[in-house]
Amino acid sequence: DIQMTQSPSSLSASVGDRVTITCRASQGISNSLAWYQQKPGKAPKLLLYAASRLESGVPSRFSGSGSGTDYTLTISSLQPEDFATYYCQQYYSTLSWTFGQGTKVEIK
Amino acid sequence: EVQLVQSGAEVKKPGESLKISCKGSGYSFTSYWIGWVRQMPGKGLEWMGIIYPGDSDTRYSPSFQGQVTISADKSISTAYLQWSSLKASDTAMYYCVRRPGGGFDYWGQGTLVTVSS
């Protein structure tokens, strides 16, 4: 199985801050990476796929980058509604996907 | 509008069987993979397995192979996740998801399964 390691596991930030979350795969995944946002008591929501493609309806302050084994989710200017837990997921392995352990973004 | 609507919360005893459901609407049910994701209390997301309702091709995560069964009835656009003998460690929220080719683009609202004696 491909293992996904996210960092940090949590962070505190203020409204307006630029926030970066990193996801590292145990082997190259050729941009087969998605990012999700989950708010308490809610189902996760797809933000980006193919490492950098924004899902329809997702604000442009969210962006993704990376290649090979290392990927990044960036929120350019953190908004109050962005406080949540974020997960990366690889889908490179045919019909076998794994998630990162999550990064909780909290209010400073 | 695409929707995945899951069955309601369940409270079961250890050793009991259970089948939960996920009904798709607003799209061609037989054309997309439908998967299941577990989230244990206070924990992260775990992919369990996936089925292609068009031909019932089913794949499981090694962690869940033999522990659960995934099925689908395309005549009623519904996918299922079932256990033959529940354990306390099966207590979790279970989400069904649709996979178009990249990430999981639609999620059900979740079904909370509580297993307690």
Predicted confidence at residue B57, as pLDDT, reads 95
Nearest Cα neighbor of B86 from B117, B46, B44 is B117
Task: From residue A6, give the alpha-carbon distance in Å to each of A104, A105, B43, B96.
Answer: 11, 13, 14, 23
Does any CB of chain B come closer than 8 Å to the CB of residue A102? yes
Pairwise CA distance, residues A20 & A77, whole Å: 11
Predicted confidence at residue B100, as pLDDT, reads 86
User: Which residues from chain B sit within 8 angstroms of residue A102, using beta carbons?
Assistant: 44-45
Digit-coded pLDDT (tens) for B72-91: 999 999 999 999 999 999 99
Is residue A7's pLDDT more than 80?
Answer: yes
Does any CB of chain B come closer than 8 Å to the CB of residue A45? yes
Pairwise CA distance, residues A102 & A6, whole Å: 6
Pairwise CA distance, residues A31 & B9, whole Å: 36
Is residue A93's pLDDT more than 90?
Answer: no
Predicted confidence at residue A108, as pLDDT, reads 86
Two structure tokens written together for B46? 């775990």
Predicted confidence at residue B19, as pLDDT, reads 98
Is residue A95's pLDDT more than 80?
Answer: no
For the range B67-73, what are the long-range contacts, defined as Cβ-Cβ under 8 Å and sequence gap of 24 or more? B68/B36, B70/B36, B72/B34
Is residue A94's pLDDT more than 80?
Answer: no
A83-95: average pLDDT:
92
Pairwise CA distance, residues A107 & B44, whole Å: 20
The residue in chain B having the minimum alpha-carbon distance to the alpha carbon of residue A96 is B61
Window 57-86 of A: residues touching B by CB (8 A cutoff) are none
- Nearest CA-CA distance, residue A102 and chain B, Å: 6
DSSP-derived letter for residue B76 is: G
Task: From residue A5, give the alpha-carbon distance in Å to each of A1, B85, B89.
Answer: 13, 32, 24
Q: Is A43 within 8 Å of B109 (Cβ atoms)?
A: yes
Digit-coded pLDDT (tens) for A59-88: 999 999 999 999 999 999 999 999 999 999
Q: Count CB atoms within 10 A of the CB of residue B8.
A: 9
Q: How confident is the model at residue B109 (pLDDT cuts 50, 70, 90)?
A: very high
Predicted confidence at residue B101, as pLDDT, reads 82
Cβ contact, residue pair B103, A91, below 8 Å: yes
Digit-coded pLDDT (tens) for A30-63: 999 999 999 999 999 999 999 999 999 999 999 9
